[in-house]
Structure 1
Amino acid sequence: RVSQPGVSKQLRILKEGGMVSVRRDGRRRLYSVRGDPLREATRWLGFYAPFWEGRLTRMDGLLAAEGPRKRAKRR
């Protein structure tokens, strides 16, 4: 679950990045996804996807071969 402040923070980040637009409707704010920036991001990710997929697949194999590790204790 995501808290309301967490959602607000993510929406603010998306707005600052130009990914969404916002308009006021009384006390509410209505957010809309902006298509152009998402298409650009999809194009960029598509260009690099083959590069990362191969490396991530190899890393997955190495980690599986290594076996489970104990988690470090958090302070």
Structure 2
Amino acid sequence: VVTRELNIFGTCASAGEYPACVDLLASGMIRVQDMITATAPLEQGEDWFNRLYNGEPNAMKVVLCPSMSG
């Protein structure tokens, strides 16, 4: 980064929108169920990550549940 004079830009913060988002979710104004492709055990996380990364058709979001057995 220093010797090659590279610039790296990124972010790891929010502007405080979490409370408003939680309120929208709780009110039902945002329907997250329509966005969830699958619910899977944590052990399938790597497989699902690869499927999403590779652009599997109709795949959007996956909820990984540690308590589910795979």
TM-score by length of 2: 0.27
Question: Which structure would you say has the larger RCO, counting Cα contacts within 8 Å and 6 or more residues apart?
Answer: 2
Bigger Rg, structure 1 or 2: 1
